[in-house]
Amino acid sequence: MSRSELHRRHFMAGAGISFLSACAPATLRLQPRADGGSERFAQGVASADPHPDGVMLWTRVEALQPGNVSLILQVSEQADFDRVVVEENVVARTRFDNTVRARVEGLKPDCFYWFRFIATDGSVSPTGRTRTAPLPQDERAIRLALFSCQHYESGFFTAYRRLLADDAALPLPDQLHAIVHVGDYIYDNVGGRVPSQDLAIIDLVNPDGSPRRVPPFPSGGVPGGPGGPSSRLAVTLEDYRLLYRTYLSDPDLQAARALYPFIQTWDDHEFVNDSWQGFGGTEALQRQRYDATKAWFEYCPAMLGTGRQPDDAFVAAEVANAPAGKAEADGDFFVNEANNLAAIGALSIYRRLRMGKHVDLIVTDCRSYRGPRGLDEAILDTGEVKYPAAPVPPQIIAIQAAGREANGGSPPETITFEGSELPNSRRHDPPTSMLGRDQQVWLEDALATSDTTWRALVTSTPLMRFGFDMRFRDPHLPNGLLWTDGWDGYPNSRRDLVDHIVTRGYNNVVSLTGDRHAHFAGCVRADYDDMTSPDSFPEFVCAGASAYCRAKAQSLSFGKDAELIRRSVIETETGHYHYRMAPTLNAWLLAGGEAADALGPRLDVAAARQSARDDVNTHITYADTDAYGYTVLRFSAGPVEAEFVTLREPLDQTFESLRRVRFSVGHGSGQAWPMPRLDAAEGDPPLMGLREHMLSRADKA
């Protein structure tokens, strides 16, 4: 497969004919068993990618004997299946791990439907409910929930239970239209031993008494990942399938998938940490990428592909791991090697979904077509975590990301990294890219042809910069960078995208994303090193559902560097915080390194404010770095409304919210956007996490 063929396959997506259409059958051909027999459907049911006239439906069934499994799909306008509008044969195929995808068309717009699958022995799946999208000119407000980063062994998925409880209290028409999941739906690492925020090793037990641990990988896995020597990484198709089956055994995730259509993209942990194309860092892993993609396709339904049957969306191929030299990289660092092309060409997931008059969801893929990040991993030596030991100057990353185009085509021969002069390993390389040329063209076309009130850019990692004020060590480093696997590692791509949006006057773009294991709200800029660069459009970043929070993750990544650790978390004196470890990282990101350090074990907010700087990440207005939870968004003819819901670390079955913070943002005007406006903050406020008035528990003391 050539690069041009890969691109052509994507643009044909959506042209296929659905094989199931709604029409009321005269009689039901198959009735479920009286006892249900739903144990054959252990992973439940799901729906995905709603359109005004249709939706994708999914289940997995256990085979009673080798071979494919025939099922009957029933779709009804009523929960009791009194008005069945679809009853058709579907097949769960062995080659797709007995999963089935059924694209149903001919449905009514903005309507609820109930569905189930029945086996020939009368075994019946749990009942699912889905909702179609409104017609393009429907004025109805659209409510979406934004999720990311759910690690099975690190916590329960009670964030979904909180969402379902809140939504059930609303009238049916006002309930969610869909859940948007922006990646890290599974984690490729298992078996790690990490502490909770109360400094106890996490070792959870499910409500049925089983340990909340992923069983041993069929392949045995390979050593790696956070959490010490017991941590293992998935490497084969059967390993990834085991992860999905285990995650989908969670009752809260199952319930959410059964009630709402999901709209998903992937990030890195569906494959391997910090992946790009068919590579994990500098290691060629095209076969593993192909297997990870197939498992995602099997368990994460989506409207993809060009053929009559939904299963045709996945393109089978023989793929081997093949180290590729930089000579095979094209002008935007896409590696045109046959195995890499086959691994990436197996499935294309970037797509667009319109929800009525008020929002276009432009869903991107930030992993498959990106080049290596702007800080060459070859110069890093930091153990399991492929990040620098401390924040580094953004100029280094900008130089390496630009490759041979740096400094107007005269890149420096060396760079200064952690006090040493090193060869600039990227000076002969093409500039790196986050989206790749073809996806960038598609994105620009999607933006240009959208006529909705809001254009929602869905990405797996934030566009905003997260600068770390390091002036307590280096007076010339006010905004060092750490998280170079995101757009901070691709400043050239960010600048090109933002410039395109600004110059064309798109004043209704909103970025929806996750990945950072924290809640953030702020604005995206084209160039964060240019003090005249305006706020270009707002961004809402949701926390992880259960993957351990950013403040804790950051402190663990700093090794034994006490100065950096205490600016991420600090062990508090009794009674000063609801965990033993408090997130000083909020203050570091919003007020600077000295302010974070001034908090101390007693969380002295007054002292921190005295040390605060007003030039730190001025584009970020909200930081909640020990949050777990999700974000609910409402799109209408008026401002976009975002409610950040934070739960406690999900180590038991409680699901009360710890706080709710609400923002809104209107359309931009000319070159400038309004910062997301704080509308309300309820519950236990984030420690120095709101720029507007730095709310803190200590304010109440």
Dump pLDDT digits (tens) for 260-308: 999 999 999 999 999 999 999 889 999 999 999 999 999 999 999 766 6
Residue 606 within any structural domain of the chain: yes
The number of CA neighbours under 13 Å toward the Cβ of 171 is 2
Whether residue 668 is predicted with pLDDT greater than 80 in this model: the reply is no
Q: Are 286 and 275 in contact (CB under 8 A)?
A: no
The region of weakest confidence among 8-17, 177-186, 555-564 is: 8-17
What integer is the mean pLDDT of 585-612?
97
Q: Are 232 and 222 in contact (CB under 8 A)?
A: yes
How high is the pLDDT of residue 329? 85
Cα(455)–Cα(511) distance, integer angstroms: 9
How high is the pLDDT of residue 370? 97
Residue 503 within any structural domain of the chain: yes
How high is the pLDDT of residue 6? 56
Whether residue 46 is predicted with pLDDT greater than 60 in this model: the reply is yes
What integer is the mean pLDDT of 324-350?
91
Domains held by the chain: number:
1
What integer is the mean pLDDT of 688-695?
79
What integer is the mean pLDDT of 529-544?
94
Whether residue 694 is predicted with pLDDT greater than 70 in this model: the reply is no
The region of weakest confidence among 45-49, 86-90, 416-420, 424-428 is: 416-420
Phi first, then psi: give them for residue 573, nearest 5 degrees: -75, 155
What integer is the mean pLDDT of 210-215?
97
Cα(455)–Cα(404) distance, integer angstroms: 34
Whether residue 523 is predicted with pLDDT greater than 70 in this model: the reply is yes
How high is the pLDDT of residue 382? 43
How high is the pLDDT of residue 305? 78
Q: Are 333 and 432 in contact (CB under 8 A)?
A: yes
Residue 464 within any structural domain of the chain: yes
Q: Token pair for residue 142? A: 């659209």
The larger pLDDT score, comparing residue 675 to residue 185, is at: 185
Q: At what angle do helices 251-259 and 158-168 cross, to 10 degrees?
A: 40
Q: pLDDT band for position 228 (50/70/90)? A: confident
What integer is the mean pLDDT of 635-661?
97
Residue 480 within any structural domain of the chain: yes
In 10-126, DSSP assigns E strands to 20-21, 45-51, 54-60, 69-76, 84-92, 99-105, 112-119
Residue 64 within any structural domain of the chain: no
Whether residue 23 is predicted with pLDDT greater than 70 in this model: the reply is no
Angstrom CA distances, 301 to 132, 141, 159, 419, stand at: 15, 25, 21, 48
pLDDT, tens digit (0-9, with 9 covering 90-100), for 106-130 = 999 999 999 999 999 999 999 999 9
Whether residue 9 is predicted with pLDDT greater than 50 in this model: the reply is no
Residue 175 within any structural domain of the chain: no
What integer is the mean pLDDT of 646-655?
97
In 575-637, DSSP assigns E strands to 581-582, 620-624, 628-635
pLDDT, tens digit (0-9, with 9 covering 90-100), for 67-91 = 999 999 999 999 999 999 999 999 9
Residue 270 within any structural domain of the chain: no
The region of weakest confidence among 149-163, 481-495, 538-552, 665-679 is: 665-679
Among candidate residues 328, 322, 278, the one with its CA nearest the CA of residue 430: 328
Local structure of 453: helix, strand or coil: coil
Cα(682)–Cα(337) distance, integer angstroms: 53
How high is the pLDDT of residue 2? 59
Domain that holds residue 454: 377-627
Local structure of 528: helix, strand or coil: coil
Whether residue 699 is predicted with pLDDT greater than 80 in this model: the reply is no
Cα(700)–Cα(695) distance, integer angstroms: 9
Cα(624)–Cα(660) distance, integer angstroms: 11
How high is the pLDDT of residue 390? 84
Cα(379)–Cα(418) distance, integer angstroms: 10
Whether residue 34 is predicted with pLDDT greater than 60 in this model: the reply is no
- Mean pLDDT, the chain, integer: 92
